[in-house]
Amino acid sequence: MSRQYLLTVLAVLATASSINAQILSCADVECPITKGITSATCTVVDKIFNAVGVVPLEYIGDDLKGLSWTKAVGAVDASSDREYDQSFYLGTPLGVRLPASCAVFFNKVSDRVRFGDDDPKRSKGTCNQAMTDGCINALIKRALEVDLSGNDTCEKLQTEFLGNLDSECASFATGNNWVDVTAVDLVGDGSPQPIDSHKNASSDCWPTSPKNNDLRLVHSTNSTGDFGAETMVKHFFGVTPILTVFFPAGDNEASVSQAEAQLTCIKAIDLTTTSNATQTQAEGTSDAIRGSGVSMVLVGIMTVVFAAMLA
C-alpha cells in the first residue's frame, strides 16, 4: 500500500467521521405540500416525488465546495402492483466545473444497511452507522486500486464491484456478490447535464440546498411491490450507498491532483414542513396524538398514491 494512498484513505475517513449525521428532508428544502394532507408532492421536470433526502458531499477542495446528493422517491399504482421511482440528483453550486468523476450506485443492498433501529421513515445517519468502517474502507480502497486512467473508468469501476465483494462488506450484500451496481460517468460524453430553465418549466420543486444549486439527474431505478405498508416503507425509505470517485484526467481543467473516493449513504426522510409542524405541536401533548401524527404521514403518502391511481 503506497503512502500517498494511505494518506488519502485516512483523510477521507477523518472527514467522514467528523461530519454530523445530517440528511435534509422535504421540510428543509420546502417541497410543495399535497392539498389536504401532510405529505409532499414534488414535481421535478417529469417526475413526481413524495419524499426526499439531501446529503452534502465531504470537502474535496475549494474549487469543489458544496456538492450534494439528493435521493427522491415517488410511487404510482398500477392495477396489480405499485411502481416506485428512486431518482438520484447531483446538486452543484452554479457554474462549478466537475473534475473527471464517476458515481457508483449500490442499488440493491441487504436490510442490514440501515441507521440503527430507529423508525426507518425518519432515521438518518452516516455510512459509519449504516455499514461498518471496515466495509467503507474496503470499498474506498478497492475503488482507488482500479486503474482510473483511460476513457472507460466508470465501466471499470462497475465491473470491479460486480466481480468482487470484500469480506468486510459481506453482510451488506444480498448474496455472494454485489448485484445491481451502476456506475455513471459524471463528466464524459453523454453525461448528465444540469436541468435548464426550459426543461424546468414543469417543475414546482427543487429538492436541493442551497436553492440556487444546479441539479443533474444522474441515475434512477424503477421497482415494483405489493400494496402493503411494509413494502412501501422499504421502497421509500431504504438506504442507498453511493461511492463518488474523483480522479485526475489530463484533458479536464477542473482535474483533481489525486484520486479520491467517498461513500455517501442516502435515504429519503418522511418529513415535510406540515408534518413537522403537526409533530412539533403534538410534542407537548399526549403520545396518542404524536403517534397518530406519524401514521398520518404514511397515510398521507398512501393517499397520494391512491389519488394518482384514480387520476
Ligand X SMILES: *[C@@H]1O[C@H](CO)[C@@H](O)[C@H](O)[C@H]1NC(C)=O
Which residues of this chain interact with ligand X, rule CB under 6 A? 27-28, 85, 150-151, 195, 197, 200, 203-206, 211, 220, 222, 276, 280
Shortest spacing between CB 308 and ligand X, in angstroms? 11
Q: Are the C-beta atoms of 275 and 293 separated by less than 8 Å?
A: yes
Shortest spacing between CB 173 and ligand X, in angstroms? 22
- What lies within 8 Å, CB to CB, of 74 at 6+ separation is 42, 47, 48, 49, 50, 84, 85, 87
Shortest spacing between CB 139 and ligand X, in angstroms? 24
Q: Are the C-beta atoms of 140 and 9 separated by less than 8 Å?
A: yes
- Nearer to ligand X by Cβ, of 112 and 211: the residue is 211
- Nearer to ligand X by Cβ, of 81 and 204: the residue is 204
- Nearer to ligand X by Cβ, of 16 and 184: the residue is 184
- Nearer to ligand X by Cβ, of 43 and 231: the residue is 43
Shortest spacing between CB 155 and ligand X, in angstroms? 12
The C-alpha cell at 310 is 384514480
| Distance, CA of 110 to CA of 105 (rounded, Å) | 14
SS3 at position 97: coil
- Nearer to ligand X by Cβ, of 82 and 131: the residue is 82
Q: What Cα–Cα distance (Å) separates residue 174 from each residue in 93, 179, 184, 216, 289?
A: 36, 8, 22, 29, 38
- What lies within 8 Å, CB to CB, of 2 at 6+ separation is none
- Nearer to ligand X by Cβ, of 57 and 269: the residue is 269
Shortest spacing between CB 80 and ligand X, in angstroms? 15
- Nearer to ligand X by Cβ, of 135 and 293: the residue is 293
- Region at 154 (left for phi over 0; alpha for psi -120 to 50; beta for the rest): alpha
**Burial class of 95 by CB neighbour count within 10 A (0 to 12, 13 to 18, 19+):** exposed
Shortest spacing between CB 189 and ligand X, in angstroms? 8
Q: What Cα–Cα distance (Å) separates residue 184 from each residue in 82, 192, 215, 286?
A: 27, 9, 15, 48
